[in-house]
Amino acid sequence: MKLKHILFLSFILIACHSSLSYAYNTSISVTQTPKDEITTYTVAKGETVYSIAAAHNTSVQQIYKLNPKAEQGIKAGDKLLLSKAKAVASYSNHLIEAKETLFSVSRLYKISVDDLKNANPGLTESTFSIGKTIRIPMFGGSSSTSNYAGQVASRSNKEYKVQKKETLYSIGKANNVSVEALLDANPSLRTEGLRNGMTIIIPTGEATSKNNLSQTNNTRKSEAPRATKGETVRVGILLPFTDNSGSISKDKLAEYYEGFLLAVKDLKSKGLNAEIYTFDTGSEKNTKRLESLLETNEMKNMHLIIGGVSKQQIDALVKFSKKTGIKYVIPFGSSSEITGTPLLFQMTSSHSSLYPEVTSAFVKRFRNYNIIFVSEDGSNNDKIDFVNDLKKSLSKAGIQSKTITKSSNLGEDLKAAANTTNNIIVPTSSSEATLRRITAVLNLSNDTSFSLFGYPEWQVYNSQVENLHKYDAYIYSIFFLNEQQNAVQNFADDYKQWYNKNLINSFPKWGYLGYDTGLYFLTALKQYGSSFEDNISKINVPTLQSCIYFERANEKNGGYVNNGIYFIHYKDNSSLEKIDITD
């Protein structure tokens, strides 16, 4: 099913809290009734849809869903598709708490919203209210137990067969044991992961009174959901999609999200099990809606959250991450708490913060070159800080360099400063005007013994691309999109096919940003589960635009900062080489 169709299948979650009107939950895996859970029934004389539904423990709505023509009426001899009846073994009770929704309660007990409504005639989103007690159906063969039962009898260790889409968190919650206790009782889960159909041990627990159980449940609310390798992972995307005055246009945020979904599509074909939940956070400057979202059970059951644009939003999400233990990816900005919060992952760094990596790589690659710094007349010297750092690194390595300042005859001064081969020019400005003046002088002399070293801004100067290749130029950048690359072209084609539009012409391109972010973190979750940070040095994915290389901001308890950066080599044969200098 195409993504553009999946987007129309979003669930609308109506929260109890008035400030959360709508939260959009988009799951890339669309739930359908499996064929082996459907049977064919022949309508007998005098039967109605209502009587058939009652006799087969299903609902009129479910019959209409499977048989749309039945809404026009049925007659004897008609064939109807019916969901096979699920026998209700017993019922438990659930007291509705603040921030809960029909959807969140159904997920808590691993049943459908329809199951809840069928067990509670008259129950709807509007009648679902705080303090009301509802019945929870427990079907034959189900492992669900009520977390709100008055008393849980003492039990001994028991075997349990894992059902489809169950997680350690859901099994632990259903059986009133912690995830850690399940892992301790089943050591192989730490390495092999949880698989559908496997048998695990539920550890022994003592008789628990209602008060003790309530205390245990309250403790578990702050315990972060965990997923082992191969389990279904839940990822939340929280962005101000409808903010018309935001610092990032809503079209770019939509493109980012669409690129992320394409990464989900690609990885699902390789075995990823993931549910993607998407939330509109409202205005960047007003976090009231975001804070309401963060109080819902849906959010507290995520394995990873990605989002936030403004400082206010990022601060609120950092606070939530610290409170719940859920990992948080900051896609665009930064947080001052990164050095002391191990749950944070900062996707972007300023180029200036990466000057040490750039200057170190420059020294290694160009130590045998004749290095000439140029501050030509009219330069704005916007890269003088980088140049000064580079000069210090060269001096420390015992490498000499030359500097031309405000030359009245740049051609003659370059000729005087040059060696016969391997000269490299480093301007003190990233401006197109400076680059244009330098290449014009080089073109007059037609001296190809010169190379150029420059800046991220150069990659958008389309009129200078030919000269960059001619003079064997290098630039550094945290982003680079090689549009000659097949994978880049294939993504653009896929994007056009799925969304019936072209990518926005911007730097960087937001669809690729979303794709690279999704590719990295979903691969991490797929390969290592929610504790992927323990193996972060092993995570290597073929990103299209972003250089990703996470390192701890603080060796002891800091979060992770993406320090990835490229050298881009414009070869004189018109090809491009993208070099990850953080390898």
CA–CA dist 467, 570 (Å, integer): 9
pLDDT above 50: residue 155: no
Q: Each residue of 532-542: pLDDT tens digit?
A: 999 999 999 99
Nearest to 303 by CA among 334, 329, 335: 329
Q: What percent of the chain has pLDDT over 70?
A: 82
pLDDT by residue (tens digit) across 413-423?
Answer: 999 999 878 99
Average pLDDT over residues 192-212: 62
Q: Which of 270-274, 369-373, 406-410, 555-559 has the highest mean pLDDT?
A: 369-373
Q: Give pLDDT, residue 154.
A: 33
Q: How confident is the model at residue 193 (pLDDT cuts 50, 70, 90)?
A: low
Single out the residue of 229, 266, 78, 106 nearest to residue 534, CA to CA: 229
Q: What is the mean pLDDT of the chain?
A: 82
- The three-class DSSP label of residue 34 is coil
pLDDT given at position 54? 65
- Domain 353-477 bears CATH identifier 3.40.50.2300: yes
Q: What phi and psi, each to the nearest 5 degrees, are found at residue 67?
A: -135, 75
Find all residues with CB under 8 Å of 194, minimum gap 6, and list them: 162, 166, 167, 168, 200, 228, 230, 231
Domain 3-83 in CATH: superfamily?
A: LysM domain (3.10.350.10)
Q: Is the pLDDT of residue 14 over 60?
A: no
**What's the confidence (pLDDT) of residue 185?**
76
Nearest to 572 by CA among 474, 475, 470, 450: 470
**pLDDT single digits (tens) 299-355:** 888 999 999 999 999 999 999 999 999 999 999 999 999 999 999 999 999 889 999
Percent of the chain at pLDDT exceeding 90: 49
Indicate the range of 227-236, 384-393, 516-525 predicted with least confidence: 227-236
- Which region among 154-158, 223-227, 450-454, 488-492 has the lowest average model confidence (pLDDT)? 154-158
Query: Based on C-alpha coordinates, what's the Rg of the chain?
Result: 30
Ranges in the chain annotated CATH 3.40.50.2300: 233-349+487-565, 353-477
pLDDT on residue 126: 80
Distance CA 249, CA 389 (A): 35
pLDDT, residue 555, reads: 75
Structure-block tokens of residue 568 = 């881009």
> Using CA atoms, how far apart are residues 38 and 84, in angstroms rounded to an integer?
5
The answer, yes or no, to whether the previous bond of 456 is cis (omega within 30 of 0) is no
Q: Where in the chain is the domain with CATH 3.10.350.10?
A: 3-83
Four-CA torsion 322, 325, 326, 329, nearest 10 degrees: 40
Least confident window among 113-117, 181-185, 364-368, 374-378: 181-185
Higher pLDDT among residues 562 and 446, named by residue: 562
Read off the pLDDT of residues 467-483 as tens digits, 9 standing for 90 and up.
999 999 999 999 999 99
Helix (H, G, I), strand (E, B) or coil at 264: helix
3-state secondary structure 344-401: EEECCCCCHHHHHHHHHHHHHHHCCCEEEEEECCCCCCCCHHHHHHHHHHHHHCCCCE
List pLDDT tens digits, range 484-512: 899 999 999 999 999 999 999 999 999 99
Count of CB atoms within 10 A of residue 367's CB?
12
Q: Fill in the DSSP letter of residue 339.
A: G
For residue 173, what is the enclosing H or E element?
A: helix 168-174
CATH number of the 233-349+487-565 domain = 3.40.50.2300
Question: Would the pLDDT of 382 be above 60?
Answer: yes
Please tell me the least confidently modeled range out of 68-72, 391-395, 578-582: 68-72
Contact 232, 273 (CB under 8 A): yes
Amino acid (1-letter code) at residue 293: L
Place 16 in a pLDDT band, splitting at 50, 70 and 90.
Answer: very low
Angstrom distance (rounded) from CA 189 to CA 230: 11
What is the band of 557 on the pLDDT scale with cuts at 50, 70, 90? confident
pLDDT tens per residue, range 106-134? 777 667 777 788 788 888 878 888 878 78
Please give the Cα distance from 577 to 199 (Å, whole number).
50
Buried b / exposed e across 498-514, counting CB within 10 Å, b at 16+? bbeeebeeeebbbbbbb
Helix (H) or strand (E) holding 5: helix 3-6
pLDDT at 459: 94
Query: Cα torsion at 243, 249, 250, 253 (round to 10°)?
Result: -120
Closest CA to 150 of 213, 60, 90, 77: 213
pLDDT in tens, 28-73: 333 344 555 688 888 887 777 767 776 676 777 778 888 888 877 8
pLDDT class of 360 with cuts at 50, 70, 90: very high
Distance CA 567, CA 193 (A): 38
Span 542-559, mean pLDDT? 91
Can you tell me whether residue 160 is helix, strand or coil? Answer: strand
Give the highest mean pLDDT range of 34-43, 166-175, 293-302, 420-429: 420-429
Instruction: Say what the pLDDT of residue 249 is.
Output: 95
C-alpha–C-alpha distance, residues 361 and 569, integer Å? 13
| Cα angle, residue 160 at apex, residues 157 and 165 outer, rounded to 5° | 140
